[in-house]
Amino acid sequence: MADYDLVIRGGTIFDGLGNRGVVADIAVKDGRIAAIGDISGSGEEEIDAAGRMVTPGFVDVHTHYDGQALWENRLAPSSNHGVTTAVMGNCGVGFAPCKPHQRDMLVAVMEGVEDVPEIVMTEGLPWNWETFPEYLDTLETRELDIDIAAQLPHSALRVFVMGERAADHEPPTAEDLAQMRALTTEAIHAGALGVTTSRNLMHRTKAGELAPSLFSEEDELIALADGLRDAGDGVYQMIPRVTGDAAEEFELMRRLAKASGRPLSYTLLQMPSGDPDGWRISLDKLAEARSDGLPIRAQVAPRPVGMLYGLDLSFHPFSLHPSFRPLLDRPLAEKVAAMRDPAFRAQLLSEEPEDSNPVSVKTVQACRYAYPMGTSPDYEPDLADRIDNRAEALGITPEEYAYDLLLEQDGKAILYQPGANYRDGNLDAVHGMLSHPGTVMGLADGGAHYGMICDASFPTFFLKRWASEARQEQRIPVETAIAALTSEPADMVGLYDRGRLTIGAKADINIIDFDALQLHIPSVVQDLPAGGKRLRQLADGYDATIVSGVVTYRNGEHTGAVPGRLVRGTRQAA
């Protein structure tokens, strides 16, 4: 009879706590790490990890699997990139709490803010809940390939309490505020990891209406903080106004952190327009706050946060042109055939984008600043290859050049527009943000932006780019990079039982061929409810991913195992 359920032998173990790797065996019993060292006992299953890195499973604290976790059991693309725990409900959007007559409103917000098609949600969601605790009860019945944890979204909470007044951005009454406070406490007691909100004016419905939480005054944001204080637990997550005054936005976050007495995390980006030093100001303020004992952390991305354009995606340079509208839902081959007609080409090139949502129009117009992605993803493209610059060199318009690019690869070509974090054509600002002691790697957005962004591959990119291929003066030690993907995000949200390879910790593990790590080009698959499409991005280099001691992926292929479950509330270290 075997001594352990699983023994991984001879790998270089990185414990996730920032210590250097050591060659050793690791044994798993009953979903927990039972032994580390020279293990003589046998395992029911054994894996030879010689020459491989053995790391904790990655913890992604910024995802949007609120719906996907209910209509399928694989939380890809995140689970294709070593993630074993995903925290959802970010940016103030989600599906609970929700009264039956409010469902359309929440769907509209999620469709616009997170680019999840409306029909996918209406076909895929069971809607067998109203309160947030009831939503968690539904999630608890799910069997998944990774663990999930949920947060209470402010927009959903506001709509639940205020109804149409929330969508109209009316101020809450004292009674409304008291109810939001109480429901926040209720959600934390039921197992939510925190409460989330957004002040980003780009967060709109598809029709252009602002998300319900965006104009909330400080008294309402404080009510959520008070709810966390009453619960004595939970994290406050928010997106500040990305075009606002960085110092003023940070002072607001300081006040929220003080009011709640709880940790606060926020999104930090180098924006393509506005104050070029806003991110530096925010980091300086962050250092001051942490010196003052406030547990505030910034979530930062390891590469440009960019938009993907294509004929089969949500946007491309002509997707909002009047003549293209009839083709939007047609098969790719029909779009390509129409666009190869010279008369249709001339007509499209003569038009301008039209839409009620100004953000959508700006998104389409920004395609002139995109780059052809080709057949291998390049997230640090040369400025000379940008569409507007190439077009100018050829003596044609950016629209003409983009038109031809879209027809390459039989219409499957993807254009990449690195927006935030690439203002100066390099990743120096990213390195500055990643190196700050008050930041945590996040913002991968798995489960959202099905047809425009595919950043769930952040963990793979982060390891390869920053721990392997960075200039020597910017290279992040492998052990530091592993901690940034594991214990640091886990600890930030109170999941101290994972993100580390220590005796008694949850047996979430990756076995990685570090030299073979490689990202594939994003591609479109049509496997959502109602035939919806989404972007996927695969990777090489993951020999195995293990959740609760069960192998879920081998060489990138799902084993069929679904040991992942809902995580309710914070977890203490073993």
Indicate whether 230 and 288 sit together in one domain: yes
Is 311 within a domain? no
Residue 488 maps to which CATH number? 3.20.20.140
Is 221 found in the same domain as 92? yes
Residue with tokens 């007691």: 189
- The residues, ordered by sequence, that sit 6+ positions from 92 with a Cβ below 8 Å of its Cβ are 153, 154, 155, 156, 196, 197, 198, 203, 211, 213, 238, 239
Report pLDDT digits (tens) over 44-85. 999 999 999 999 999 999 999 999 999 999 999 999 999 999
Report the Cα 459 to chain-centroid distance in Å: 11
Residues 282 and 239 grouped into a single domain: yes
Final residue in a domain of this structure, among 418, 433, 466: 418
Query: Cα-atom radius of gyration of the chain, to the nearest Å?
Result: 23
pLDDT tens figures, 335-372: 999 999 999 999 999 999 999 888 889 999 999 999 99
114 and 217 share a domain? Answer: yes
Give pLDDT, residue 200.
77
Do residues 150 and 284 share a domain?
Answer: yes
Residue finishing a domain among 466, 496, 526: 496
Alpha helices in 350-439 (DSSP H): 358-365, 387-394, 398-406, 428-435
Does residue 428 share a domain with residue 330? no
Cα separation of 144 and 148, whole Å?
8
- Total tally of structural domains belonging to the chain: 3
Instruction: Provide CB contacts within 8 A for 389, sequence distance 6+.
Output: 383
- Rounded CA-CA distance 180/259 in Å is 15
One domain for residues 135 and 236: yes
In a domain, 297, yes or no: yes
Q: Is residue 514 part of a domain?
A: yes
The amino acid occupying position 37 is: G
Domain hosting 76: range is: 58-304+422-496
The terminus-to-terminus CA distance of the chain in angstroms comes to 27
Nearest-angstrom CA–CA distance, 107 and 289: 37
DSSP 209: P
Let me know if residue 564 belongs to a domain: no
Q: Looking at residue 272, what is its pLDDT? A: 86
- Cα of 81 vs its chain's centroid, Å: 12
Residue 517's domain is classified under what CATH number? 2.30.40.10
Q: Which residue has the tokens 């798995």?
A: 446
Residues 6+ positions from 359 with CB-CB distance below 8 Å: 202, 204, 208
Q: 143 and 11, same structural domain?
A: no
Q: Where a domain ends, among 368, 388, 418?
A: 418
Would you give per-residue pLDDT tens digits along the chain (574 residues)?
Answer: 899 999 999 999 999 999 999 999 999 999 999 999 999 999 999 999 999 999 999 999 999 999 999 999 999 999 999 999 999 999 999 999 999 999 999 999 898 888 898 999 999 999 999 999 999 999 999 999 999 999 999 999 999 999 999 988 899 999 999 999 999 999 999 999 999 999 876 667 776 677 888 778 999 999 999 999 999 999 999 999 887 799 999 999 999 999 999 999 999 999 988 788 899 999 999 999 999 999 999 999 999 998 999 999 999 999 999 999 999 999 999 999 999 999 999 999 999 999 988 888 999 999 999 999 988 899 999 999 999 999 999 999 999 999 999 999 999 999 999 989 998 899 999 999 999 999 999 999 999 999 999 999 999 999 999 999 888 899 999 999 999 999 999 999 999 999 999 999 999 999 999 999 999 999 999 999 998 899 999 999 999 999 999 999 999 999 999 999 999 999 998 7
Q: How far apart are CA 193 and CA 349, in angstroms?
A: 49
Distance, CA of 84 to CA of 77 (rounded, Å): 12
The answer to whether residue 12 is domain-embedded is yes
- Asked whether residue 475 is assigned to any structural domain, the reply reads yes
364/237 same-domain check: no
